[in-house]
Amino acid sequence: MRAFRKVGGTPIFFKEARGAHAVDEDGNRYLDFCMAWGPLILGHAHPRVIEAVEKAVRDGLAFGTAHRGEGELAERVLCAYSYAERIRFVVSGTEAVATAVRLARGSNGRHRILKFDGCYHGHVDSLMVKAGSGVITQGLADSAGVPAQVAADTLVIPLGDMDALEQAFRDQGDSLAAAIIEPVPANNGLLVQSREYLQRLRELTRQHGTVLIFDEVITGFRFGFHGYDKVVGIEPDLTTLGKIVGGGLPVAAVLGRRALLDQLAPLGPVYQAGTMAGNPVCLAAGIATLAELAEGRVYEHIEALGRHLDAALARHALKAKAQLPRIGPIVWPYFDVNAALPRAASAITANAVETYHRNYRSWLDRGVYLPPSAYEVCFLSAAHTTADVDTLLDVLNTGS
């Protein structure tokens, strides 16, 4: 997406950003609703985060040892995820998912993974797969360089299909090491799932001894000072985090109960390590971000923006051209008012995608930067205002 392959033309090169705005190398100023693909819930260059990072830099860029920041950020995260007792910091969401999958396999001695079509979990080889035409399929690699035998260890079923879910566990449940899902799928459209579907997944994984992984790289700390597990009242066995937990710097994590996490080295036999994991400068950004979020005002502001968006859309001309489904601060411009909102990636219409991509350049010309792909979501932040929301609606109404 950064290469603008979907929308065409020369990609933007940003050089600086503050609050809700960014400036490119040509001096053009944009109202940003991409927010670095989600980490910047406080906006660009938030003063509290910048101050914390500057102090950490003066103390040293990296230590290669344990340090105070690891314990402080761990306590903040585990306070928010009440079911979890241990956490391991890594660098990226992809690495967090890879660690969670390895941990699941090491815990029960199985090797097969269940994932859901339309959910994205980073570029882990075994998860770079998609569903075929059947209800339940063996994985087919989405990327060159992923061996067929690796992809074949992954079962893929249609997202939201209860019958397919039941069949998967009936046929393969006792061989599944883990089932991984975005509890709010937001990387292939905003495909909000029912609580009943997630609850049934939780029941089936427990019945079959399968580790349930909630991939909350996008949703962690997005809807309040907690995870989506609290929103729906469903606890997974492992959670992967990224984006917000690093406050704009590369921090990710896998967390869960002691019985699972203690199987990671050095306490257990499942190996994981990384030179830059737990980097003090990066963790300082995460600590400052979570400290700001814990005060609550950010969530109140963002929810007020969301309510304003909903109310404004109801009387705006855009409603004749597009739907804007929203959950918390996540908004998805869907340019097809003649189709029901998709709950699976396969239901996203070609018309919606083509219309978004065709009009993208006109939005840039109006000074609004959105994700350069119709499948990606937008993010409201603490730096946005109701006037910014109104601008978004006006700009989305331009074009054909």
Does the active-site annotation cover 215?
A: yes
The answer to whether 14 and 24 are in contact (CB under 8 A) is yes
Pairing relation of β-strands 176-181 and 29-32?
unpaired
The answer to whether 259 and 188 are in contact (CB under 8 A) is no
Q: CA torsion sign, 390 to 392 to 398 to 400?
A: negative
Sheet arrangement for strand 29-32: 14-18, 21-24, 29-32, 368-369
Which of 81, 120, 197, 228 does the annotation list as catalytic? 120
Does the active-site annotation cover 59?
A: no
Say which DSSP state 2 is in: T
Which of 215, 237, 336, 388 does the annotation list as catalytic? 215
Does the active-site annotation cover 237?
A: no
Cα 299 to Cα 24, 86, 141, 221, 233, distances in angstroms = 29, 26, 39, 10, 19
The answer to whether 312 and 393 are in contact (CB under 8 A) is yes
Which of 243, 336, 360, 369 does the annotation list as catalytic? 243
Q: Which of 146, 199, 134, 198 is nearest to 171 (CA)?
A: 134
271 SS3 class: coil
List the beta strands (DSSP E) in the chain: 14-18, 21-24, 29-32, 86-90, 112-117, 129-130, 137-138, 140-141, 154-158, 176-181, 211-216, 238-241, 252-256, 326-327, 330-331, 368-369, 378-379
State the catalytic residues. Answer: 120, 215, 243
